[in-house]
């Protein structure tokens, strides 16, 4: 969506992009500082800031400290006017939210997926959200969609979604024509690494692994500040690293993959056996209650989960040497019962030649990680050089 600008308009748009990104990264910054940092003349900075303010991307904030002359007015991101929709397509349900430019959730909607037709559920959630943003007056400027499986980020195409057996679904085309807004589509877990980059409190980190433990298991990789998608958009399939020689058969055909023990169904199946519950009757919150009460079966189940996650993660950490690992997805709600085991296993199985020990923690977005991640796909597009901010 959007038209390509040429000549002076294109240069002005690129300058606006650089300025917006700089304001984002700084939190608050003066126009003089922007001019010095970006090597742009004062008049260009003022004119771009004025254009961004008129479109509600930025606003004037506090008065900053003087460096000799008049005290400058600081510029900051306007978190109250523009919103993105974030849609997460899981194996059984679609979750959606309207999210501010700074990652705050304004409202949510959800729908179960019937008969594998995930686009019908996406449209149901989007229609619900649209009614609410129209009623509440949220101006939504774009839609980010995270879909499980293999996604062509360039074309906005769900190449293969294993839970539905669907292939080549034109998610972007269908949503752009229905809602008239720009749409960005990527793998669901991969989008969550962008949420850490743009919304998280670790914005200075360039090398990150996001491990999602939910209906499936996967990783989002950020290398050198950029999301790594692989040659066929299939990077990060950590769920298919073998962690057990005698485990269950995985959907991929192999035995003992991480997915079979660390997805929500895989973990609850092991935990039910460990605590003597009927298969299919145990919930994660009940398993956590049992572990809180010191039930040996529940503690053993969480310990086994931590060991398996740690084994797979150690391989990824040895390969990529990231600054940090963030753990998300529904299973991560039990982090307090398996986090230490993950950290100890990674510590034991990784090489510390540089003396640097990777930081491993649960994501700060909790249960909103999927929808906030999806919305951050749109924010990533807005902050990249090509996005037309002046339309
Ligand atoms: Zn597998």
How much is the pLDDT for 217? Answer: 95
The answer to whether position 390 is within a domain reads no
DSSP 387: S
* Residue 147 shares a structural domain with residue 293: no
- pLDDT, one tens digit per residue, over 314-359 is 999 999 999 999 999 999 999 999 999 999 999 999 987 666 789 9
256 CA distance to ligand 1 middle (Å)? 7
* Residue 289 shares a structural domain with residue 320: yes
We report the CATH number of the domain holding residue 21 as 1.10.10.10
285 CA distance to ligand 1 middle (Å)? 26
* Residue 171 shares a structural domain with residue 225: no
131 CA distance to ligand 1 middle (Å)? 40
219 CA distance to ligand 1 middle (Å)? 14
* Residue 174 shares a structural domain with residue 265: no
How much is the pLDDT for 62? Answer: 78
- pLDDT, one tens digit per residue, over 229-239 is 999 999 999 99
Q: Whole-prediction pTM value?
A: 0.89
* Residue 162 shares a structural domain with residue 228: no
215 CA distance to ligand 1 middle (Å)? 13
Among candidate residues 233, 148, 154, the one with its CA nearest the CA of residue 189: 148
The answer to whether position 389 is within a domain reads no
* Residue 180 shares a structural domain with residue 211: no
Last residue of a domain, one of 48, 77, 106: 77
The answer to whether position 387 is within a domain reads no
Q: Is the dihedral of CA 94, 98, 101, 105 positive or negative?
A: negative
* Residue 334 shares a structural domain with residue 210: yes
How much is the pLDDT for 249? Answer: 94
* Residue 320 shares a structural domain with residue 357: yes
Last residue of a domain, one of 49, 77, 105: 77
Cα 113 to the chain's mean position, in Å?
21
102 CA distance to ligand 1 middle (Å)? 36
Task: Give, in order, the Cα–Cα distances in Å from 31 to each of 13, 51, 95, 110, 228.
Answer: 17, 13, 39, 42, 33
258 CA distance to ligand 1 middle (Å)? 7
226 CA distance to ligand 1 middle (Å)? 26
* Residue 240 shares a structural domain with residue 190: no
Query: In the chain, how many domains are there?
Result: 3
64 CA distance to ligand 1 middle (Å)? 54
- Rounded to 10 deg, the angle between the 264-275 and 296-320 helix axes is 150
The answer to whether position 1 is within a domain reads no
2 CA distance to ligand 1 middle (Å)? 40
How much is the pLDDT for 199? Answer: 87
The answer to whether position 159 is within a domain reads yes
To which H or E segment does residue 224 belong? Answer: none
Distance, in Å, from the CA atom of 194 to the CA atom of 145, rounded to the nearest integer, reads 13
238 CA distance to ligand 1 middle (Å)? 9
337 CA distance to ligand 1 middle (Å)? 25
To which H or E segment does residue 362 belong? Answer: strand 359-362
Judge residue 115's burial from the number of C-beta atoms within 10 Å of its C-beta, 0-12 exposed, 13-18 middle, 19 or more buried. exposed
- pLDDT, one tens digit per residue, over 258-317 is 999 999 999 999 999 999 999 889 999 999 999 999 999 999 999 999 999 999 999 999
Last residue of a domain, one of 52, 77, 102: 77
167 CA distance to ligand 1 middle (Å)? 19
Quickly list DSSP for 177-219: HHH-S-EEEEEHHHHHHHHHHHTSS-TT---EEEEEESSSEEE
Q: How much of the chain exceeds pLDDT 70, in percent? A: 97
Distance, in Å, from the CA atom of 258 to the CA atom of 230, rounded to the nearest integer, reads 20
* Residue 326 shares a structural domain with residue 214: yes
We report the CATH number of the domain holding residue 347 as 3.30.420.40
Range of the domain at 214: 202-363
161 CA distance to ligand 1 middle (Å)? 15
267 CA distance to ligand 1 middle (Å)? 15
270 CA distance to ligand 1 middle (Å)? 17
361 CA distance to ligand 1 middle (Å)? 25
98 CA distance to ligand 1 middle (Å)? 34
177 CA distance to ligand 1 middle (Å)? 36
Among candidate residues 85, 82, 66, 86, the one with its CA nearest the CA of residue 74: 66
111 CA distance to ligand 1 middle (Å)? 27
212 CA distance to ligand 1 middle (Å)? 15
DSSP 153: T
Quick check: helix, strand or coil at residue 19? helix
253 CA distance to ligand 1 middle (Å)? 6
Task: Give, in order, the Cα–Cα distances in Å from 114 to each of 121, 142, 174.
Answer: 8, 26, 19
Within 8 A by CB and 6+ apart from 14, the residues are 385
Cα 99 to the chain's mean position, in Å?
13
Distance, in Å, from the CA atom of 273 to the CA atom of 269, rounded to the nearest integer, reads 6
How much is the pLDDT for 355? Answer: 63
The answer to whether position 174 is within a domain reads yes
351 CA distance to ligand 1 middle (Å)? 26
274 CA distance to ligand 1 middle (Å)? 23
The answer to whether position 2 is within a domain reads no
* Residue 271 shares a structural domain with residue 340: yes
Q: Can you list the residues of the chain whose pLDDT is less than 50?
A: 2
DSSP 27: S
249 CA distance to ligand 1 middle (Å)? 8
* Residue 235 shares a structural domain with residue 331: yes
The answer to whether position 63 is within a domain reads yes
């Amino acid at each position: 969506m959007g038209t390509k600008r040429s000549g002076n308009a294109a240069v002005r748009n690129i300058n606006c992009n650089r300025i917006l990104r700089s304001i984002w990264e700084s939190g608050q910054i003066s126009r003089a500082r922007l001019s010095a940092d970006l090597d742009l003349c004062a008049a260009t900075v003022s004119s771009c800031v004025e254009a961004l303010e008129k479109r509600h991307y930025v606003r004037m904030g506090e008065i900053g400290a003087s460096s000799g002359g008049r005290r400058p007015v600081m510029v900051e991101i306007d978190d109250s006017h523009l919103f993105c929709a974030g849609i997460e397509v899981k194996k059984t349900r679609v979750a959606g939210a309207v999210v501010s430019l700074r990652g705050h959730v304004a409202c949510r909607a959800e729908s179960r997926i019937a008969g594998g037709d995930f686009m019908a559920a996406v449209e149901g959630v989007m229609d619900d959200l649209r009614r609410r943003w129209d009623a509440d007056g949220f101006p939504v400027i774009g839609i980010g969609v995270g879909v499980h499986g293999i996604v062509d980020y360039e074309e906005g195409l769900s190449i293969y979604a294993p839970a539905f057996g669907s292939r080549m679904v034109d998610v972007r085309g269908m949503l752009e024509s229905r809602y008239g807004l720009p749409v960005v589509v990527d793998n669901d877990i991969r989008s969550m690494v962008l949420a850490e980059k743009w919304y998280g409190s670790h914005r200075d980190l360039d090398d990150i692994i996001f491990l999602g433990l939910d209906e499936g298991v996967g990783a989002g990789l950020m290398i050198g500040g950029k999301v790594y998608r692989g040659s066929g958009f299939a990077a990060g399939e950590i769920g298919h690293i073998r962690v057990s020689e005698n485990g269950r058969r995985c959907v991929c055909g192999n035995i003992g993959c991480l997915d079979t023990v660390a997805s929500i169904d895989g973990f609850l199946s092991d935990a039910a056996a460990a605590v003597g519950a009927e298969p299919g009757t145990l919930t994660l919150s009940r398993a956590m209650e049992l572990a809180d009460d010191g039930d040996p079966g529940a503690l053993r189940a969480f310990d086994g989960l931590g060991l398996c996650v740690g084994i797979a993660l150690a391989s990824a950490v040895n390969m990529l040497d990231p600054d940090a690992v963030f753990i998300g997805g529904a299973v991560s709600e039990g982090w307090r019962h398996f986090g230490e085991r993950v950290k100890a296993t990674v510590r034991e199985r990784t090489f510390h030649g540089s003396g640097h020990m990777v930081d491993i923690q649960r994501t700060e977005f909790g249960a909103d990680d999927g929808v906030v991640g999806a919305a951050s796909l749109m924010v990533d597009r807005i902050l990249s050089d090509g996005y037309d901010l002046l339309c």
